[in-house]
Amino acid sequence: MKLSVHYDVVVVGAGPAGLSAARAAAGRNARVAVLDDNPLAGGQVWRQGPGRAPQPPLRDLLDALRAQPRVAFWASARVVGPLGPERGLLVESPAYDGAVAVTFDRLILATGARERLLPFGGWTLPGVTGAGGLQALIKGGLPVRGERIVIAGSGPLLLAALATAREAGAHVLAVVEQASAAALARFGISLAAAPSKLWQAAQLTRGFAGLRYWPGSTVRAARGDGRVEQVSILRGTREVVLECDRVACGYGLVPHVALARMLGCRIDGDGGVAVDDAQRTSVDGVLAAGECAGIGGVELARVEGDIAGRTATDMAGATVDAGLRAERARWRRFAERAARAFALGPAARAVPPPDTLLCRCEDVSLGEVGSQPSWRDAKLHTRCGMGACQGRICGEAAKLYFGWDAPAPRLPLNPARIGTLMSAADAPADAD
């Protein structure tokens, strides 16, 4: 027998989009729950950690939400999956010491994005992470003072990782960007239309003082005995080797849409949840905002969250405020410029050697997977995608290299207790 708790609006994700949505919905007198699997709010962008006080935007949002008695924040809450035909989610929460059914009138998906990791030789060595992964580790308390770090891949996330690593006392040897110098120059000029982003870039890079910033370059391999000790970088046709203690390599972000797909929401051509002008998805009563609806940055996430929160309290007659619509359009244009500038080029999209591991959970090589005609066959014959990440990492790489559709998510969405899964078949009982 599982417990059941009902809210007018449930928000999944406590990042910029989710918190903005919760504030907007609560401001219209809705009873709101915000679910997040982290112990503290903020998401990846505003991640809190040891010795890290909330940044001003996060602090302001949290203060506004604390002033709303009808808002409940469910920390360390894992969504296991949807609850059949009823409007609800099966959730594991320490507040209820196990499984609880969270039902709702409206659901706002603000599940953010995942980092795109592409394999290269040695990418499974200790000391090799994603660029966003490095940020999360440092914010979580990983000591990197004095370490020699190479940050590589593509996109603005590299600069954010650079700033975080420098602040923590690391020595960043180089930022290796796959986009060409010409593409970066065009994007830099376009920042004149978004002065706040230009200022943000200057703050993150400190003007690139004392830094090797290499456009048109990609990581070819990481090497080391027991952990990474050096990295090989392809700069055009020239190979450069740097001695290092850590490599952080990520090729941008992809929308995190597993829960949306489980709910039956339509996914657009760019891989995000398809939404209408009011942030409504194709599923009645479900909205989406932020990076899960398309990669666009914190400013776009916040305004989409605001719109979604307002819409959730008035689905039938939802009209988007003209000012919010204009602001959203402005940041969507910026996102489009960024997507063009950092689109993966031939070097980044090139398939690595056949002996390179693709599925690191099950130790399956690219050659083994590439010899199969489809993702389904690869899974059946090699166990690719059947490990702990359930294809979230290797599936994205296989999609890029082989054109295969990403694997369909299956229950449970996150690791769950057996008792929780058994309780999914029970009738819910109301909880206090």
CATH number at residue 176: 3.50.50.60
Residue 428 has pLDDT above 60, yes or no: no
Please report the pLDDT score of residue 1 as a whole number: 42
In a domain, 431, yes or no: no
- Among residues 138, 132, 124, 168, the alpha carbon closest in space to that of 151 is found at 132
Q: Please, what is the average pLDDT of the chain?
A: 91
Q: Are residues 124 and 17 in the same domain?
A: no
In a domain, 332, yes or no: no
Please report the pLDDT score of residue 192 as a whole number: 72
Residue-wise DSSP of 174-210 = EEEE-S-HHHHHHHHHHGGG-HHHHHHHHHHHGGGTT
pLDDT tens-digit profile of 64-120?
999 999 999 999 999 999 987 779 999 999 888 788 999 999 999 999 999 999 999
pLDDT tens-digit profile of 160-215?
999 999 999 999 999 999 999 999 999 988 877 776 766 666 666 665 667 899 99
The C-alpha angle with vertex 421 and arms to 417 and 423, in degrees rounded to 5, equals 110
Q: Provide mean pLDDT across the span 1-9.
A: 85
Amino acid at residue number 19: L
Q: Are residues 132 and 240 in the same domain?
A: yes
Interatomic CA distance for residues 131 and 122, integer angstroms: 16
Give the residue with greater pLDDT, 49 vs 283.
283
| Residue 129 CB contacts under 8 Å (≥ 6 apart), including other chains | 137, 246, 247, 248, 249
Give the DSSP H/E element, type plus range, for residue 73: strand 71-74
Q: Provide mean pLDDT across the span 208-225.
A: 91
Q: Are residues 153 and 126 in the same domain?
A: yes
Rounded to two decimals, the pTM is 0.93
- 343 burial (CB, 10 Å; 0-12 / 13-18 / 19+) is middle
Q: Predicted confidence band at 430 (pLDDT cuts at 50, 70, 90)?
A: low
Q: Are residues 84 and 134 in the same domain?
A: no
Amino acid at residue number 227: R
Q: Are residues 209 and 170 in the same domain?
A: yes
β-partners of residue 241 are 232
SS3 106: strand
Number of folded domains that form the chain:
3
Q: Are residues 187 and 94 in the same domain?
A: no
- For residues 212 and 175, is the Cβ–Cβ distance under 8 A? yes
In a domain, 324, yes or no: no
In a domain, 337, yes or no: no
Q: Are residues 382 and 408 in the same domain?
A: yes
Q: Predicted confidence band at 407 (pLDDT cuts at 50, 70, 90)?
A: confident
Residue 60 has pLDDT above 60, yes or no: yes
In a domain, 262, yes or no: yes
Instruction: Find the range with the poorest average confidence among 38-47, 230-239, 240-249, 336-345.
Output: 38-47
In a domain, 333, yes or no: no
In a domain, 346, yes or no: no
Percent of the chain with pLDDT over 90: 75
Instruction: Name the domain boundary from 204, 231, 251.
Output: 251
Q: Are residues 101 and 124 in the same domain?
A: no
β-partners of residue 48 are none
In a domain, 330, yes or no: no
- DSSP class of 120: -
Q: Are residues 204 and 275 in the same domain?
A: no
Q: Provide mean pLDDT across the span 309-314.
A: 93
Q: Are residues 291 and 246 in the same domain?
A: no
Give the DSSP H/E element, type plus range, for residue 12: strand 3-12
Q: Are residues 84 and 129 in the same domain?
A: no
Domain with 220, as residue range(s), is: 117-251
Q: Which of the given ranges, 186-190, 349-353, 403-407, has the highest pLDDT on average?
A: 349-353
Residue 427 has pLDDT above 50, yes or no: no
Q: Are residues 45 and 102 in the same domain?
A: yes
